[in-house]
Amino acid sequence: MSGSPNVEELAKKLDLTKPSDYMKIYTVAGKVEAEHWFKHNTAAWLQITKDAPDQHQRINWIISMVRGSVLDVGCDVGMVDHFIAAQPYINKLKVVGVDISIDRIKWGQHWHTPVHFIGAHSDRLPFPDKSFDCEILAEILEHVPDPGATLNEAWRVLIDYGTLIVTCPLDEEKWLVDATLPNPLHLRSFNIEKMRSLLSEHGFKSYAVPSATLGEPYEYSHLTSQGWKVKICQTRQTFIYAVGMKTGRPKAATESV
């Protein structure tokens, strides 16, 4: 990856609240991450999750919540979707992963399972109304320029009383080591009250709780001219676990939080 642009430096030159600018930086990060995955195998990933029990618990919780047809928006390289497709009570022919990074999508297609992968934006999904029983937004809402638009689109593609499954960092700005270590791809931080309010405003009857465990060591991943770097910090991050049931109507006008 020699000569690759530095994500942090690129972020300083862009307005990440603009979808077009955000796409520029996310495309760079997606390409690098996909190349990283091609250099490692599944066993390595499983060992990583074994060594990070909090992450493993979060993934297991997501898998335990899904039923019927499943849409995973922001699916990354699709690893979790392949585990979902192997579960009971799942429509194996309708497990779909969506990501805006074509490089990540290409990686997901290498696993040769029934999962379908599609390149699309979280606020412009290429599916008819009421297409899925469940939608997953796992560590996505802190990334997108307009969380409201993403939630309105989730409301649209879910069946009546369909399930929205959300995870994201809890009070991220509080566990950053210092101001020099923000994740340039994270545009906002959520607390429990803000998450509950956001889901309610966009048509979901929901609950949101903090993860029960101590939390994961904060892993600050970033791209430099030398390649993909990871800095493990001493502070620990906890997460929000939220579930929404599609009930009322979402807000007509979306806005960033």
The answer to whether 158 touches 247, Cβ cutoff 8 Å, is no
Confidence of residue 36 (pLDDT cuts 50, 70, 90): low
Tokens (6 digits) for 231: 């800095």
- The residues facing 223 across adjacent strands are 228
Superfamily of domain 7-246: Vaccinia Virus protein VP39 (3.40.50.150)
d(CA 220, CA 177): 10
The position carrying tokens 């994270």 is 186
DSSP letter string, 81-94: HHHHHTSTTEEEEE
Helix axes 147-157, 192-201, angle to 10 degrees: 50
| In the chain, domain spans | 7-246
Q: Does residue 241 surpass a pLDDT of 60?
A: yes
Helix axes 42-51, 53-65, angle to 10 degrees: 110
The half-sphere exposure of 251 on its side-chain side, counting CA atoms within 13 A, is 16
Mean of the per-residue pLDDT values for the chain? 80
- Looking at per-residue pLDDT, the higher value among 220 and 68 belongs to 68
* pTM of the predicted model as reported, rounded to 2 decimal places: 0.80
- Looking at per-residue pLDDT, the higher value among 198 and 251 belongs to 198
Q: Does residue 95 surpass a pLDDT of 90?
A: yes
- Looking at per-residue pLDDT, the higher value among 14 and 241 belongs to 241
Taking alpha carbons only, the member of 257, 26, 16 closest to residue 149 is 257
